[in-house]
């Protein structure tokens, strides 16, 4: 299935294209996540009721028992339900179990991993996107917008793209590039960007982009680069970016 593309203009003339996730993939991910958070919140509620109250009933509030029950039963269950998306999207770097199952990921408009601010803004607008019911406003926005984004994405500067299911790697040690002086900072920065977006790029396109970038470097044999495997290309980009590729 062909997906619409979001093009990121590269500083060195090498553009990156990210396949945009449509309303169908977005809805599929949301349905899975909704079931997970409801079931987990409900499981906490029932278990806490059994432990705190000795059964699925509220005790009288005498001696502050009612307040304690509400604090230990209702508050955690509500936190699980309402904080499910922002917490998991931060820890899973733009994904949730539902998004991973649907093969999609949240990215910023430059293709990077969204930060705390973007995640909080995106999820804060869920209230608007969910109006009047069943996320109707958000669904209409995904059909009407060019990049298939809902209101929360517009406000946060994010979009949902197709992902191959692999975990993204953010490389460390960029302050001491392994090939310092072999490439200018723009090439090193582009190598980092390609590596960060590696899971979201089509395998054939990302290999072409990697080869085009590596061929710009002096001392690189075009024939050798053309013969590189996917893993070898990734390792070469990691070396260019000054990162240790595990």
Evaluate whether 86 touches 115 at the Cβ level (below 8 Å): no
Residue 179 has a CB neighbour count (10 Å cut-off) of: 16
pLDDT digits (tens, 9 = 90+) for 101-145: 999 999 998 878 899 999 999 999 999 999 998 899 999 999 999
- What pLDDT is stored for residue 199 in this prediction? 78
Q: How many CA atoms lie within 13 A of 36 on its CB side?
A: 15
How far is the C-alpha of 184 from the C-alpha of 97, rounded, in Å?
39
Evaluate whether 179 touches 242 at the Cβ level (below 8 Å): yes
Most confident option among 5-14, 57-66, 70-79, 215-224: 70-79
Which pTM does this prediction carry? Answer: 0.68
20 alpha-carbon distance from chain centroid = 13
Q: Which residue has the higher pLDDT, 45 or 221?
A: 45
Domain ranges of the chain: 19-163, 170-246
User: Looking at the DSSP assignment, which residues form a beta bridge with residue 183?
Assistant: 180
Average pLDDT, integer, range 177-197: 64
For 142, residues 6+ apart whose C-beta sits below 8 A from its C-beta are 22, 23, 26, 148, 149, 150
- What pLDDT is stored for residue 13 in this prediction? 54
For the chain, helix (H) and strand (E) counts, in that order, are: 12, 4
pLDDT exceeds cutoff 70 at 182: no
Residue whose C-alpha is closest to residue 48's, from 18, 71, 20, 22:
71
């Amino acid at each position: 299935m062909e997906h619409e593309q979001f093009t990121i203009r590269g500083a060195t003339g090498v553009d990156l294209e990210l396949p945009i996730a449509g309303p169908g993939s977005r809805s599929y991910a949301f349905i899975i996540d909704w079931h997970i958070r409801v079931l987990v919140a409900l499981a906490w509620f029932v278990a806490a009721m059994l432990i705190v109250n000795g059964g699925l009933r509220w005790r009288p509030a005498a001696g502050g028992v009612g307040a304690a029950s509400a604090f230990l039963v209702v508050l955690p269950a509500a936190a699980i339900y309402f904080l499910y998306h922002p917490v998991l999207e931060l820890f899973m770097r733009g994904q949730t179990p539902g998004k991973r199952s649907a093969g999609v990921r949240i990215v910023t408009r430059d293709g990077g991993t969204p930060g705390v601010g973007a995640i909080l803004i995106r999820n804060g607008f869920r209230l608007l996107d969910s109006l009047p019911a069943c996320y109707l406003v958000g669904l209409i926005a995904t059909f009407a917008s060019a990049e298939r984004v809902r209101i929360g994405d517009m406000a946060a500067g994010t979009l949902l793209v197709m992902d191959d299911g692999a975990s993204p790697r953010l490389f460390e040690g960029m302050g001491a590039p392994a090939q310092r002086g072999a490439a200018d900072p723009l090439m090193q920065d582009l190598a980092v960007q390609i590596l960060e977006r590696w899971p979201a790029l089509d395998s054939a396109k990302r290999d072409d982009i990697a080869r085009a970038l590596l061929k710009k470097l002096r001392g690189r044999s075009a024939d050798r680069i053309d013969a590189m495997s996917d893993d070898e290309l990734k390792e070469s980009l990691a070396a260019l970016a000054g990162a240790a590729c595990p």
